[in-house]
Amino acid sequence: MSQNKGVAVESLWPAPTIRPAGAAGPMLRQERAERTREQILHCAARIFAERGYQQTSIKDVADEVAMTKGAVYFHFPNKQALAVAVVDELYSRWPVTLDAVRGKGLSPLDTVIEMFNAATAAFLEDPIMQAGTRLQNERDAVDVELPLPYVDWTNLISTLMHEAHGQGQLARHIDPDVAARVAVAAFFGAQHISDNLHGRADFAERWREVRDTLFPALRALPRPVAAPDRHVTPR
Ligand code: LUB
């Protein structure tokens, strides 16, 4: 069965929106403000990902982005607003990723696998994903309400699992909602352990293990190919 071995998952994650400074042409003031906001957000994500919420200050972010604290406050009134914006930015990307994955015309189960592959690539290389995950893990310490974690993602995977079920892709005894919860829990568990023990260094490998153990167990067995029956018509 397909294990998506050779798929370039990186291309599924939306490209960074940061453009180089001094790009050609005059920029509208609003466009420039948006770009500045993105730069601040990206730098904040890097620091949140590295140090966590409590160990990050607006001053750290301002230094990282080489602006004054005032410039940062112009776009984000406080640290909570920065944290919320990072998490919102993360969640805003999944529908984009889903569209890209859907565009590949894979089966529902392979679409699930590809979404997790994309999440793996993001966790390994994108500060927004790294920071969003860390901030959600620290959500008690972030003194502002963040969107509930895992819920949208689990619903998305459930929807795909139901499609897989409808197409006979899941083994008969598998409940699609249970399969979705187990897949999301296994992904997050592997992510959390890899992050804490090895600073994510082994996560690609850990995710492949989860994927290649879990998904074959969910799949319906292929229908046995009808072998030419030599007993009926011996010659
Ligand atoms: C997504 C994260 C990181 C799911 O809550 C969530 O849904 C998410 C952090 O909590 O990415 C990625 C499988």
Q: What is the pLDDT of residue 8?
A: 46
Which 8-state DSSP code applies to residue 219? B
- Name the 3-class secondary structure at 7: coil
Q: What is the pLDDT of residue 24?
A: 53
Residue segments in the chain with a per-residue pLDDT below the cut of 70: 1-26, 227-235
Q: Is residue 224 part of a domain?
A: no
Q: Is residue 167 part of a domain?
A: yes
Q: How many structural domains is the chain composed of?
A: 1
Q: Is residue 96 part of a domain?
A: yes
Ligand 1 pocket check: which of 113, 130, 134, 150 to mutate, most ligand atoms within 8 Å of Cβ? 150
CATH code of the domain containing 134: 1.10.357.10
Q: Quick one: how far is CA 85 from the chain centroid?
A: 16
Q: What is the pLDDT of residue 147?
A: 94
Q: Quick one: how far is CA 167 from the chain centroid?
A: 26
Q: Is residue 3 part of a domain?
A: no
- Give the Å distance between the CA of 102 and the centre of ligand 1: 19
Q: What is the pLDDT of residue 3?
A: 41
**Contact at 8 Å (CB) between 213 and 189?**
no
Task: Kindly give the number of the ligand 1 atom that is closest to the alpha carbon of 87.
Answer: 9
Backbone angles phi and psi of 209, in degrees to 5: -65, -45
**The residue type at 16:** P
Residue 181 to residue 60: CA distance in whole angstroms: 37
Q: Is residue 192 part of a domain?
A: yes
Which residue in this structure is represented by tokens 């410039």? 71
Q: Is residue 105 part of a domain?
A: yes
Q: Is residue 70 part of a domain?
A: yes
Mean pLDDT of the chain: 90
Give the tokens for residue 91.
């969640």
- Residue 187 Cβ inside 6 Å of ligand 1? The answer reads yes
Residue 51 structural domain: 9-218
- Residue 153 Cβ inside 6 Å of ligand 1? The answer reads yes
Q: Is residue 94 part of a domain?
A: yes
pTM of this structure: 0.84
Q: What is the pLDDT of residue 27?
A: 73
